[in-house]
Amino acid sequence: MDGKFTRKARLVANGNETPVAPKYDRYSSVVSRESVRIGFLYAALNDLDILSCDISNAYLNAPCSEKLWTEAGPEFGGDAGSVMIFKKAVYGLQTAGSSWHETLAKTLSEMGFKPSRADQDVWLKESTDRQGNLYHEWIICYVDDLLAISCDPKAVMDQVAK
């Protein structure tokens, strides 16, 4: 090692110190194991490709649904002691998972996907393959990890990234 290294840090809220959120606001989506297995079977039977991804800093893509503030620490230099208001969901907040789930659901709905009636973390969209045959594209959600099942799953993931 040349003695140079980089440190990473993540601002995390003390969710235990925030007011207790209603149970329905503390939800974070988790797909069932059976749904993942059915998705793999569907892909194998229809010769579809599968692509997985982890959405980096997913919660920071969602708005903060609570009115919260904190005092800036010494790492903020001249701004230390200033009041900071949270505009984005931050890891550690009780409602961060729910806010992220709502943001992802809105994005997938805008893309034309609809949640499955059997598992709300499986999203389906009717599409056509290269030969013109109808099939369903799948997006399977496990909090901030996604599986895309499609003829072109990279295109689906690129669309989610926008």
Asked if residue 9 has pLDDT above 60, the reply is: no
Cα(37)–Cα(149) distance, integer angstroms: 12
Q: Dump pLDDT digits (tens) for 30-84.
A: 899 999 999 999 999 999 999 999 888 777 778 777 777 778 878 788 888 888 8
pLDDT above 70 as % of the chain: 83
Is 62 within 8 Å of 87 (Cβ atoms)? Answer: no
Asked if residue 11 has pLDDT above 80, the reply is: no
pLDDT at 34: 95
- Report CA-CA distances (Å) from 38 to 30, 51, 133, 142: 15, 15, 20, 15
Higher pLDDT, 18 or 70: 70
Is 121 within 8 Å of 81 (Cβ atoms)? Answer: no
Is 145 within 8 Å of 54 (Cβ atoms)? Answer: yes
CA angle 150, 62, 40 (to 5 degrees): 20
Alpha carbon distance, N-terminus to C-terminus of the chain: 38
Token duo for residue 87: 């505009």
pLDDT above 90 as % of the chain: 41
pLDDT confidence bin for 153, thresholds 50/70/90: very high
